[in-house]
Copies of this chain bind each other. A is one copy, B any other.
Amino acid sequence: MIQFERTPDDTRQAILEAAFEEIYEHGFQAASLSRILERVDVTKGALYHHFKSKKELGYAVVDEVVGNWVTEKWQFDADSPDPISSIRRTIEGALERASERTCHCGCPLNNLAQEMSPIDEGFRERINSVFRLWRTKFEDAFRAGQAAGTVRPDVDVEKLAAFLVASFEGIVGLGKSEQSLEFVSSTLDVMLDYLETLRPQPAVV
């Protein structure tokens, strides 16, 4: 049960968080408003006072919860001279903090993307902007690496960023099916090994 001060803003925020949890566990379409209301102990009147429909609630969850979730999780220093090492550290840190539930339920952003992108254009646009933001962070980091000489200058950073995000989501997604953190970890190793090949090669003697 989510506890919160009974102020309007806190009520809205508490509903958002409860909705995020419910959607994370059941998907958006199977998410039940009444279960959300149980989680946060408010009534339907409160929910429909703050959100005009289930869909608008879903949109707000993407914009205000899932977006921040991703942004915070991937805030390696974009100006780092060595983005490849930064990314490695970020991923290793995420793996350490990963819970049973993370492995079980996967990435909330990707879950919503797979379920809702084909069905609803509003969801697709919102989800895609989060993906684009994420990719941009990678791009900036790699460009900084190229400037610092830790990443090969011939690397197409945009395509690489897209590939990295896709691979990461794919690995986490396959991990949901395998239900194994060790599987996720060792498959991510392949990705990180690939990243290492993007460093400038020492001159051949």
Assess whether A21 is interfacial by the CB under 8 Å rule. no
Interface mask (A112-133 → B, CB under 8 Å = 1, otherwise 0): 0111011100001001100100
Report Cα–Cα, A25/B190, bound state, in Å: 33
**Minimum Cβ distance to chain B for residue A122 (Å):** 13
Oligomeric state, in number of copies? 2
Please, could you name 17 A-B residue pairs with CB atoms under 8 Å apart, sorted by A? A29-B29, A106-B114, A106-B118, A118-B176, A128-B177, A128-B178, A131-B174, A156-B190, A159-B187, A160-B190, A162-B174, A165-B174, A169-B170, A169-B174, A170-B173, A194-B194, A197-B197
**Minimum Cβ distance to chain B for residue A171 (Å):** 4
Q: Which 5 A-B pairs have the closest CB atoms?
A: A170-B170, A166-B170, A163-B190, A29-B30, A166-B171
Give the residue of B159, B168, B176 whose beta carbon is less than 8 angstroms from that of A114. Answer: B176
